[in-house]
Amino acid sequence: MTENNIPTVYNPKEVESKWYRHWEESKYFYAKVEKDKTPFCIVMPPPNVTGQLHMGHALDNTLQDILTRWRRMQGYNALWIPGTDHAGIATQAKVEEQLAKECQSKYDLGREKFLERVWAWKEQYGNRITTQLRHLGASCDWDRERFTMDEGCSKAVLEVFVKLFEQGLIYRDYYITNWCPHCQTTISDIEVEHQDKPGQLYYIKYPAKETPEEYIIIATTRPETMLGDVAVAVNPEDDRYLHLVGKSLVLPIVGRELPVIADAYCDPTFGTGAVKMTPAHDPNDFEIGRRHGLPEVIVIDKYGKMNEHAGKYQGLDRFECRKQIVRDLEAMGYLVKVEDISHAVGHCYRCNTAIEPALSKQWFVKMKPLAEPAIQAAKDGRIKFIPERFTKIYLNWMENIRDWCISRQLWWGHRIPVYYCQDCEEMVASITPITKCSKCGGKVEQDNDVLDTWFSSALWPFSTLGWPEKTEELEHFYPTSVLVTGRDIIFFWVARMIFSGLRFMEEEPFKEVFIHGLVLDSLGRKMSKSLGNGVDPLDIIESHGADSLRFMLITGNTPGNDLRFHFERLDGARNFANKLWNASRFVMMNLGDYDPTSQGGQYTLADRWILSRLQGTAKDVTDFLERYELGEAARVLYEFIWSEFCDWYIELAKPRLFGKTTPEDRVTAQHVLVQVLRQVLEMLHPFMPFITEEIWQKLPHQGETIMLAQWPKADENLLDDTAEAEMAVLIEVITAVRRIRGEMNVPPSRKAEALLVAAEESFRGILERNAAYIQGSANAEAKILSELPVKPDQSATAVTRGVEIFVPLKGLIDLDKEIARLNKELKTIQGDLARVQGKLNNQGFLAKAPAEVIEKEKAKEQELSVKADALKDRLSMLS
């Protein structure tokens, strides 16, 4: 082998596109059912078909890819199923935007033609995010890619709906839901983004009917909803209002009589302790209203405008109505005061319109019977959350779960398979389309609504494997091994998959749930379009390469915790890739005469040490991966490759490679270099798949691809505690001598003398046997002593484990010149330190400066103090 085998500079663009194309064309990602192998299966959380890759996707899919590549190398029958979600609201909105540019609406086309248009859009644009995932290196089985509205998934959805309907677990009723006046549909809780907004709290008098001079003050942020008030509720133990319970108040402006009711929901310590009841426009009021049999008056229509029940305000936008009502209340003497507040207001994730809690007739899933087995599965440990703390969060939500609204007022999606007879009002759910009533033979019409997108994704772990058909994939790979997902969708997706799997497969859908946090910006804020702080993963891949992005996302990442994105860390990951590339290039430059079958000499201490450390690294990396501590696994690899292999072993092996010892010693060094480099590449491959494949292919190896290489296992025969302990002593000594040379400005070409004093014979033996390492690595002639009666004049000192080090400086440097330089540097630092301390002693500065500025000055003070002390120590040595 020659230097030409590996270019001088690593080019991620060329390498990454080349290898991914090769992997996919070679079907290395394809996982056929092999019953003699242990299955390992992950289903990808399906990104929206409208979406494009963001940092959350990048993290989520990198974690899944690491686990899949690792298990595949371990010999598992590894399957990672990719797919996309039809994203009902978002996709329909995209197509409606196109139609609007053509001066058309969906109603101009009609339902059938509109759906044809949406399918055409999906075919044209729907593969964007899956293409982007390929740039990231995702080793999915693309031959098994699924879509939540493909034929198989659609069949599963119909099967589940009809079964739940027939079992009485799906029903239709009036209830409060999240309504988007712009998208014209109900939306799920996860599709509501709560934004902190400035607002007002309005205090309004509600006078008693019989004694108008007496009144209850109500505090509300939404005065426009008072037009739908039907009662006022107080706590049954609130002495202030007990005499009014059972009596009536008069609704200001409207004049409607409102009964005063007692309900424990009301908190006497919150606000005024009294709550106005608007059951048609508030979920809590709705629940209280049902308990007390209150009427439900709708005053805001589906477009966010006041309806006929709003009286003179009919036709006004809800927010304009608010302003007008406040003006009228003030004029009539009912407005007590207005407070400025900041409060969370729900907005539609798609269009950013303020959500309106609205009463309407919708389809629901009865959750209590489904939740109970899902709760038990977590309590029994059949499903484990990682980190474990998320079990409590999951259980708390499941134990307080409410019925799930599954209907959406859209055309794009799984249409609800319920048919209504136009003659006898018979209602039937059917998997297959029906045209006439089975009861009276009359004409039937299908429900116009579609199902919540989460209904189909709740079936994902088994619908993607072929259910309701009994496929060999379903038999072999279900339950799946682990679900990897963000902490923000535990309730809305993870929980629903669990109860769906238990209900229809009679077994949990996955054994473990690996929860990761969010990728935040460098200031700890969530990335968003509104803040303009998002980072496009494709831009990073273009500038730094996919491997660098992946490694940056993993290092420092701990399960369940959020991760801050720093470009400095990204640069660090790229530097690591370059370090690995340059070290590999050096190794290959010295393999021109390498013969894998040749016999070398005996292992040196450095050989035994690096091989032992390699085994320890293999064990630690595997153990961390087993515990889903992927960040720790990456850290161990980073430290071994950067420090122990590149900075130490390669340097220690150079004399043998350069012919300064016997030919057998060169062969031994080559063998060790190849073995260590190949195995660290194999361990690093799941994290950085592209660069590792490129280098591995150029090394002596067996097999077609590193993807299918055997995962390195620790060889206990190569573990050598003695070698590791002895090498630790040498590394500390060499590092100390190097540090002295650097601090004292000893020219690299000047050989120093190092007096190494070790009282213990064992330490002296280590130093004597390996003095050549010290000379070669620190350019210092080592003299090993048991004691040193007198400290040499003008010498720098250091102390390591069991060894005291003296480096005489006379003759190595110009002492007078060095003392002058150090004094000058000390004077500059002392001046800077005095200025910083002056600021920190200035009460005016401390009172006015932001906290982060003060913290920076304190850190600067500490840094300057440490530097000043170090300079004083050096001057003391030279005096």
Whether residue 468 is preceded by a cis peptide bond, meaning omega within 30 degrees of 0, is yes
Read off the amino acid at residue 802: G
Tell me the one-letter amino acid at 32: K
Indicate the burial class of 864 (C-beta count within 10 angstroms; 0-12, 13-18, 19 or more): buried
Task: Answer for the pair 220, 226: CB distance below 8 angstroms, yes or no.
Answer: yes
Cα(555)–Cα(632) distance, rounded to whole angstroms? 7
- Tokens 């319109």 belong to 353
The amino acid sitting at 231 is A
| Calpha distance 766→730 (Å, rounded) | 8
Within a 10 A sphere around the Cβ of 361, how many other Cβ atoms? 10
Contact 286, 257 (CB under 8 A): no
Q: CA angle, corner 216, sides to 215 and 222, nearest 5?
A: 125
Question: Residue 755 — φ and ψ, nearest 5°?
Answer: -90, 115
- Other beta carbons within 10 Å of 168: 9
d(CA 877, CA 575): 36
Radius of gyration from C-alpha coordinates of the chain? 36
**Torsion angle, CA of 49/54/60/61, rounded to 10 degrees?**
70
Cross-strand bridge partners of residue 175:
360
DSSP conformational letter for 590:
T
Q: Is 18 annotated as a binding residue?
A: no
Q: Are 682 and 69 in contact (CB under 8 A)?
A: no
Backbone φ and ψ of 341, nearest 5°: -140, 170
Q: Report which residue type is found at 668.
A: T
The closest of 87, 96, 98 to 128, measured between CA atoms, is: 87
Tokens coding 867: 């530097």
Surface-to-core class of residue 526, CB atoms within 10 Å of its CB (0-12 exposed, 13-18 middle, 19+ buried): middle
Binding residue positions for ATP: 529
Binding residue positions: 529
